[in-house]
Amino acid sequence: MKKLLTAVAMLFMLNACSGQQANTQADPVNITSLGQSEITEVRAADVIPTYPKRGKSIERTFVHQPPLIPHKAQYPINLKKNSCMNCHSPAKAKRMKATEIDVSHLLADSKLNKHYYNCTQCHVPQADNKQPLVDNDFSAK
Ligand code: HEC
Ligand code: HEC
């Protein structure tokens, strides 16, 4: 039984290796369901946006403005978890060197008011984008 298991494991490993080799081949891959597919259009990768330095908040432009997020905001917010709270919850903020969420976001028992759960509904990231995110043909004339 043990020998059989080892043989099966070896087969899996061999398979994994051959898979890797196939990926490095430059020739077009012929997959029957998709047909012959060749990549003809290539372009340079998008320029990575630069965010303000960690630990620096962006000055607010009006009173009670939800502060802009000075870092990337692709942290998942879903039914199971709110990743923003990993750094901004009152319990963790100090250790993560982040600002605690505003008291208005908390209930009397210091738990997050669920009305404020979807952080990016009000807080938006601010980055220096080296290329436009959307086309803009606005003209003032
Ligand atoms: C890995 C830790 C971490 C995570 C996760 C994180 N942040 Fe931050 N955040 C920081 C740090 C550090 C700063 C800079 C210090 C500061 O100004 O609070 C910051 C700053 C901010 C600020 C500016 C605060 C101010 O007073 O100007 C906002 C707003 C913010 N984050 C919102 C969010 C939101 C919304 C999410 C989830 C999408 C999130 N953060 C996830 C660490 C984090
Ligand atoms: C309904 C809109 C709204 C939602 C949702 C929301 N916020 Fe805010 N947030 C605000 C506003 C408005 C302020 C500014 C409060 C003020 O200055 O009066 C603020 C302030 C903050 C601050 C700065 C606090 C300070 O003392 O400077 C942080 C950090 C923050 N929010 C993080 C979060 C995080 C993390 C979430 C998600 C768990 C979240 N916010 C959800 C509107 C929102």
Give 85-133 pLDDT, tens digit per residue.
999 999 999 999 999 999 999 999 989 999 999 999 999 999 888 888 8
Contact (Cβ atoms closer than 8 angstroms) between residue 20 and residue 26 = no
Looking at all shown ligands, the one closest to residue 116's CA atom is: 2
pTM confidence score: 0.78
Q: Provide the pLDDT for residue 118.
A: 97
Give yes or no for residue 82 CB within 6 A of ligand 2: yes
Structural domain boundaries of the chain? 48-126
- Ligand 1 pocket test target in 53, 71, 94, 116 with most atoms within 8 Å of CB: 71
Tokens 């330095």 found at: 53
Contact (Cβ atoms closer than 8 angstroms) between residue 93 and residue 100 = yes
Protein residue closest via CA to atom 33 of ligand 2: 101
Tokens 């070896």 found at: 10
> Which residues touch 51 (CB under 8 Å, ≥6 apart)?
70, 71, 72, 125, 126, 127, 128
Choices 1.10.1040.10, 1.10.1130.10, 2.60.40.1930, 3.40.50.10470: CATH for 48-126: 1.10.1130.10
Q: What region, left, alpha or beta, does residue 88 occupy, with left being phi > 0 and alpha being psi -120 to 50 degrees? A: alpha
